[in-house]
Chain A
């Protein structure tokens, strides 16, 4: 009986007498069946990667020509891209909006988390948190609707406030200002995601040892002093991780947001790489160009992730991956 159970235990743990890979696999065939959903990943995430090959072709959508009969052009698509001023304009917009978004959401999310953490009345704290999550859960279409209405020159609330306060004499069409687009994109991201993003920081803050605050009280430290001396240093590792993660996503500016906030007069400052792929390559069926841009985007993103991770390792001796 005892022998039997130890054998069963050994079989479960996969120890005991060494068994071949295939024999173990056969024993674990039920787990293999449970692994089948990985086929979804292969079919819908990995299989599309073969499409990168068309970046080295002059691909023409057609039923008559098979994929491998398409004209192979080597790196010509990339050469043409790097000679295209609109591609560099898109790259500049991606980097600019991406960087501004990171800076703004980073700062405001952290600020919101610190201030929410300082609220002492618990029902008020809970209410503020619940309210601040709401924009995260609505779609960018809804958010854009609200933003267009609020910033409208025809009775939009922001223009009304500015006019009542006498800051401007005539209403401003904010969504049509090419120079304001980057800031509007960054601040609308803050509006949509700061509350939700604060969850992570607040969770880490709850694990700070309360005795630290108590002894700071003994020493007569004020609230602001405690924030800078205890709260912020305690969440520094999280702050670093979040920064590294967001730098890796620098070029993934968020297609939906930009595409839907863009207006005809802001095309020059709003067209990011992702938007350019859609409005130029997709709509004109220049599939090879679009694939080349996707490859460029992925390569730069991977480089950024590796760089930022290395940088994080240099900072504190441990990376995140």
Chain B
């Protein structure tokens, strides 16, 4: 019907229509490119500006007007937080430790659960699945959870970072969807060859599920690296377990509370003898921000194709 109508249009008007369609194409593409560049600038500018400020001389930075490039180059801010004091490197180490151990603990446990959830012949499958997925909707809330964890003796303990988040309903769901796509015949023939369930999981399923394991590892490690609230809630009375994000949060607080440099000096644990020259909150904040972003920015672009896939499976089936 529509093509009939098209055919009846006289040749001249048809050509005109084609030209205007081409013109619309060009206009549309140009506007779209401009909009997308705008998105990129709005996303990236704050990061680039922070890099520039972090490499700028601190007293000079107070004058403002630094945009994409440092005006007076200086490494002093990085020197101050990385070499002159031990608080920041230590907290970064704790953050890295939680990212690594959190992932190592969580991946095998999540795989086990996700695997039994795909075994249609397993009698407890329904129960295990419901118990795990229901956690997506119900939580005890801040205070009941806090009181319970305290009664477990998790206050001021590294374990509070890695044990409670070990099983996440969302991650298990994504893994389950992926494993469910692996042909059951593989499991079946391995069983007939007398392989145990453990062997099937770790020597057959595990290698085949590497893409989803990469995705979930990224989710877990980034999430662990970015945590600060559990530090504030459970581990704020001991310096030893402070995390990089929590230190950054304290610096942000001090910058906002106008008491500025004094609080910062305290936060950095420096004696403040002034011999190193006055390093302002601004450049220190910028340097700390960059230190906490760099590991993430170096990792996620390379895992992009995996997490895009993993997320899509989870979204379509979940």
Which residues of A pack against B, CB within 8 Å?
5, 8-9, 12-14, 21, 24-25, 28, 30-38, 40-52, 54, 112, 115-116, 118-120, 124, 127-135, 137-142, 144-150, 154-155, 157, 191, 195, 199-200, 203, 218-220, 222-224, 238, 255-256, 260, 263, 274, 277-278, 281-282, 287, 290-291, 293-295, 297-298, 301-302, 305
Contact = CB atoms under 8 A, between A and B. Distances in A.
A122 to B, nearest CB: 13
A145 B28 contact: no
B197 A157 contact: no
A311 to B, nearest CB: 17
A31 B205 CA distance: 14
Contact of A295 (B3, B141, B312): B141
B286 to A, nearest CB: 8
A32 B124 contact: yes
A102 B152 CA distance: 37
A141 B228 contact: yes
A19 to B, nearest CB: 10
B252 A21 contact: no
A144 B107 CA distance: 30
A223 B46 contact: no
Chain A interface, >50% SS class: helix
Contacts of B49: 149-150, 157
A157 B48 CA distance: 12
Contacts of B228: 139, 141, 256
A140 B225 CA distance: 12
B65 interface: yes
Contact of B142 (A44, A140, A294): A294
A46 B164 CA distance: 11
Contacts of B24: 222-224
B46 A291 contact: no
A218 B6 contact: yes
B274 interface: no
Secondary structure at the B interface, as helix, strand, loop or mixed, is helix
B256 A52 contact: no
B80 interface: no
B216 to A, nearest CB: 14
Contacts of B152: 43
A287 B146 CA distance: 10
Contacts of A34: 112-113, 115-116, 197-198, 201
A207 to B, nearest CB: 10
B143 A51 contact: yes
Contacts of B227: 139
Interface of B: 2-3, 6, 14, 17-18, 21, 24-25, 28-29, 32-33, 35-36, 39-40, 42-47, 49-50, 53, 64-65, 67, 109-110, 112-113, 115-116, 119, 121-124, 128, 131-132, 135, 137-149, 152, 163-164, 166-167, 169, 188, 191-192, 196-198, 201, 222, 225-229, 245, 248-249, 252, 255-256, 285-286, 289, 292-293, 296-297, 300-301, 304, 308, 311-312, 315-316
A129 B248 CA distance: 28
A137 B292 contact: no
Considering residues A35, A218, A224, A302, which has the most beta carbons from chain B within 10 angstroms of its beta carbon?
Answer: A35
Given A34-B197, A199-B311, A256 B229 contact: yes
A30 B47 contact: no
Contacts of B32: 115, 118-119
B76 to A, nearest CB: 19
The residue in A43, A127, A154 that gathers the most chain B C-beta atoms within 10 A of its C-beta is: A43
Count chain B CB atoms within 10 A of each CB in A9, A21, A32, A281 and give the residue with the most: A32
A124 B128 contact: no
A36 B6 contact: no
A48 B144 contact: yes
B252 A120 contact: no
B123 A25 contact: yes
B223 to A, nearest CB: 9
Contacts of B297: 134, 137
B229 A132 contact: no
B64 A31 contact: no
30 contacts: A31-B122, A34-B113, A47-B148, A49-B140, A51-B145, A52-B140, A119-B36, A128-B39, A130-B304, A131-B39, A133-B304, A134-B297, A137-B300, A138-B296, A141-B252, A145-B50, A145-B248, A145-B252, A148-B255, A203-B308, A220-B14, A222-B28, A223-B25, A277-B142, A282-B142, A282-B146, A290-B143, A291-B141, A295-B141, A305-B137
